[in-house]
Amino acid sequence: MTIKYYTIGMAGHIDHGKTTLTKALSGIDTDTLKEEKARKITIEPGFAPFPLTNDLHTSIVDVPGHEKLIRQMIAGVAGIDLVLLVIAGDEGVMPQTREHFEILSFLGIEKGIIVVTKSDLIDDEMRLLVEEDILELTNSSVFEHFPMHFVDSVSSAGIEELKSEITNLLKDTPVKSSQGTFRMPIDHIFTVKGQGTVVRGTVYEGEVQEGDELIVQPGNDKVKIRKLQVHKQDVHAARAGQRAALNLSGGSKADWKRGHVLVEPNVYSTTDTIDLVLSTGEGWKGKLKQRSLVKFYSGTSEVMGKLVLFDRNELDNNEDQIYCQVRLDQEIVTKRGDRFIIRRPSPEETIGGGEVIDPNGSVYRFGTETIERLKSKHEGTPVERVQQLLNKVGSMSERELKRSIGMEEEILQHTLGELLSEGSIEQIQDYLVSDSTVQHIKFNIMNKLQNFHSEYSLRQGIPKAEIVQSFQSEVNPKIVNSLLERCVADSTVTITDQFVHLSHFKPHYPEKWAKRMANVLTILVEAQLEPDDLQNIYNAQQLPEALYHEFKYYLLKTNQVVMLFDEILLSRKAFDSAVENLRIHTDSSFTVQDAKTILHTSRKFLIPILEGMDAEGYTIRESNVRKWV
């Protein structure tokens, strides 16, 4: 079974019940700091593991609603898959409801639920007013279509319905693709006694494994992953979309803080001059002069910088798609397509947000020439556009690609030709797939198999259908099948009876239980033709019940036993010597009575042994006698 992981973020005005709702859903109080308890407000983002079903695990990020803690709010919701916008029924839409709403829109969060809390405190008339208030806020935005739920988080009224809604929405949410190179903005750093430094964050891109070497930027600080946790459970690997805690060795930890980014080596450099496309919010009423000082937020970082405009000398509210640049006081890690927010330092207010066009901008002149240049950078070269689209969706048929990219046929063909010949995309069956998708799927297949073999060493492997299905939300099953065939062809993977396994792997006793499992077999051999129930022998060795069935299956599969009844298994050795014994002491045929005299065993065991011999083709039964074949 493949577990899907998502991160759910809270948002909303102070005291509207985000922390109480987090607790009603997950059972966990995220306000753990002394100061949070004393002031009865959230100060730092809090995280609560929140498994919804066996194969759907989430973490809730609870953020502060205080107007002075917007930075923590932005860091908390960076990278979430679904937002719960919390609005208290007795107060309705308030300033930080609006501000958080705008921030979420600028960050491009497109899935969510509006949760009206404190529904126990309002009557029907009030309820209608709140609904109107909310619709006015969300009008003409993606939030307009979000479902709305009324809950009382104290008595838990409406909480079960909300859980089902979350499950429903996440079911159709594609898991973030783990393509690309690993990147995780750090939102929390702490030390665990005896273990060292742990950093926490939401994985933005890519995947990592225990033992991987990474870099903390800025600072180019080399580190190694000692241990990994995802949603508070020990794991071997973590991937995009998951809340991860990484125990790191090496590096100068004292310099790290929220906003630093953990990345794969030799991929990301840091930058302080970033080209942007910016939109300003409706809620912000002021104006901003050319080269004003702003706070720039991206990922979990907050850095001061100057906003440079190229087609105006003043920024107004409610404007769309302004091409501009930020020059930061400190370097950060960012990438084309990343979302950002800018705020005014004083008075503090959210001005707007948008997308990074080019993380490595340079100095440009004021005027339309620069605007044109930034605009074409924004749209990207044909190669960038094809790659971007394929990276986003994983795979596409050429027809689908044509339809969604809107590029002249000749240019598209030329671009595809170029990408195919340099190997950055591939044609697999009827699909165009980017090389990073191919690598990602291969990496994941190997990773799954490795984990599976170490966890279930008695089993042959993972059913092929299960592997194919586990990538269902990412690419067409035909592609996974083809890639599996490739792994078989290059001998890294073998498929035995529809079970996929690493070629060098052979089922074996788990190390921890090897001795006791071997004892079970010795006891079976010694019991010769009259063994006890397998379950009894197994239990007497104090082996874990959970492994019983696969142990039994393993013995049968490896032909070390012969099944007489469901629970009575004879050692292969005992069975074979019984056959041998009978062969020596009989002629061409024999009766049950003959066999009883020769084998000295009771009818209870004798009949199934003889039937076993028929089944294995040694003998044929003809009424009362058996003939040797």
Q: Candidates 15-23, 205-213, 264-272, 335-343 — which segment interacts with Mg ion by CB under 5 A?
A: 15-23
Q: Candidates 14-22, 220-228, 298-306, 508-516 — which segment interacts with Mg ion by CB under 5 A?
A: 14-22
Sheet holding 493-496, edge to edge: 462-463, 499-502, 493-496
For ligand GTP, which is the closer residue by CB, 66 or 557? 66
Q: Candidates 17-25, 319-327, 443-451, 486-494 — which segment interacts with Mg ion by CB under 5 A?
A: 17-25
- In the numeric block, the tokens 């922390």 are attached to 19
For ligand GTP, which is the closer residue by CB, 99 or 152? 152
Angle at which helix 18-26 crosses helix 159-171, to 10 degrees, equals 80
Give the residues across from 213 on adjacent strands.
Answer: 224
Give the residues across from 479 on adjacent strands.
Answer: none
Distance set, CA 195 to CA 56, 225, 249 (Å): 29, 12, 9
Give the residues across from 87 on adjacent strands.
Answer: 116
Which tokens in the block code for residue 612? 């076993």
Q: Candidates 35-43, 410-418, 505-513, 521-529 — which segment interacts with Mg ion by CB under 5 A?
A: 35-43
Residue 353 contact partner, candidates Mg ion, ligand GTP, none, CB within 5 to 8 A by sort of partner:
none
- DSSP 3-state of 329: strand
Q: Which residue is nearest to ligand GTP (CB)?
A: 65
Which tokens in the block code for residue 476? 């067409």
For ligand GTP, which is the closer residue by CB, 36 or 338? 36
Total residues binding Mg ion (CB under 5 A)? 3
**Contact assessment for residue 261 and residue 268, using Cβ atoms and an 8 Å cutoff:** yes
Stretch 39-98 residues interacting with Mg ion (CB under 5 A): 42
**Contact assessment for residue 149 and residue 165, using Cβ atoms and an 8 Å cutoff:** yes
Helix (H) / strand (E) containing 619:
strand 619-622
Residue 154 contact partner, candidates Mg ion, ligand GTP, none, CB within 5 to 8 A by sort of partner:
ligand GTP
Shortest distance, position 69 Cβ to ligand GTP, whole Å: 8
Shortest distance, position 125 Cβ to ligand GTP, whole Å: 18
Sheet holding 148-150, edge to edge: 46-53, 56-62, 4-11, 82-88, 112-117, 148-150
**Candidate list 4, 16, 18, 335; residue touching Mg ion; CB under 5 A:** 18
**DSSP assignment string, 430-449:** TEEEEHHHHHHHHHHHHHHH
Shortest distance, position 5 Cβ to ligand GTP, whole Å: 24
Q: What is the CA radius of gyration of the chain?
A: 32
Residue 224 contact partner, candidates Mg ion, ligand GTP, none, CB within 5 to 8 A by sort of partner:
none
Q: Candidates 16-24, 98-106, 441-449, 616-624 — which segment interacts with Mg ion by CB under 5 A?
A: 16-24
Residue 152 contact partner, candidates ligand GTP, Mg ion, none, CB within 5 to 8 A by sort of partner:
ligand GTP
Distance set, CA 456 to CA 242, 554, 558 (Å): 24, 11, 16
What distance in Å separates the CA atoms of residue 89 and residue 77, rounded to the nearest whole number?
23
Shortest distance, position 360 Cβ to Mg ion, whole Å: 39
Shortest distance, position 110 Cβ to Mg ion, whole Å: 24
| Residue 119 near Mg ion by CB under 5 A | no
Stretch 493-512 residues interacting with Mg ion (CB under 5 A): none
Shortest distance, position 95 Cβ to ligand GTP, whole Å: 12
Residue 264 contact partner, candidates ligand GTP, Mg ion, none, CB within 5 to 8 A by sort of partner:
none
Q: Residue 517: which of 568, 457, 597 has the closest Cα?
A: 457
Distance set, CA 5 to CA 230, 251, 338 (Å): 9, 29, 21
Shortest distance, position 126 Cβ to ligand GTP, whole Å: 13
Residue 15 contact partner, candidates Mg ion, ligand GTP, none, CB within 5 to 8 A by sort of partner:
ligand GTP
What distance in Å separates the CA atoms of residue 281 and residue 285, rounded to the nearest whole number?
9
Helix (H) / strand (E) containing 621:
strand 619-622
| Residue 100 near Mg ion by CB under 5 A | no
CA quadruple 345, 350, 351, 352: dihedral, nearest 10: 130
For ligand GTP, which is the closer residue by CB, 19 or 370? 19
| Residue 22 near Mg ion by CB under 5 A | no
Residue 301 contact partner, candidates Mg ion, ligand GTP, none, CB within 5 to 8 A by sort of partner:
none
Shortest distance, position 107 Cβ to ligand GTP, whole Å: 19
Shortest distance, position 514 Cβ to ligand GTP, whole Å: 51
Shortest distance, position 20 Cβ to Mg ion, whole Å: 8
| Residue 16 near Mg ion by CB under 5 A | no
Chain contacts with ligand GTP (rule: CB under 6 A): 12, 14-20, 41-42, 64-66, 117-118, 120-121, 152-154
Q: Residue 283: which of 214, 212, 351 has the closest Cα?
A: 351
Give the residues across from 49 on adjacent strands.
Answer: 59
For ligand GTP, which is the closer residue by CB, 117 or 434? 117
| Residue 19 near Mg ion by CB under 5 A | yes
Beta-sheet pairing, 112-117 with 82-88 = parallel
Residue 121 contact partner, candidates ligand GTP, Mg ion, none, CB within 5 to 8 A by sort of partner:
ligand GTP
Shortest distance, position 65 Cβ to Mg ion, whole Å: 6
What distance in Å separates the CA atoms of residue 365 and residue 359, rounded to the nearest whole number?
18
**Contact assessment for residue 115 and residue 86, using Cβ atoms and an 8 Å cutoff:** yes
HSE-up of residue 629 (Cα within 13 Å, Cβ side)? 10
Shortest distance, position 45 Cβ to Mg ion, whole Å: 10
Residue ranges binding Mg ion (CB under 5 A): 18-19, 42
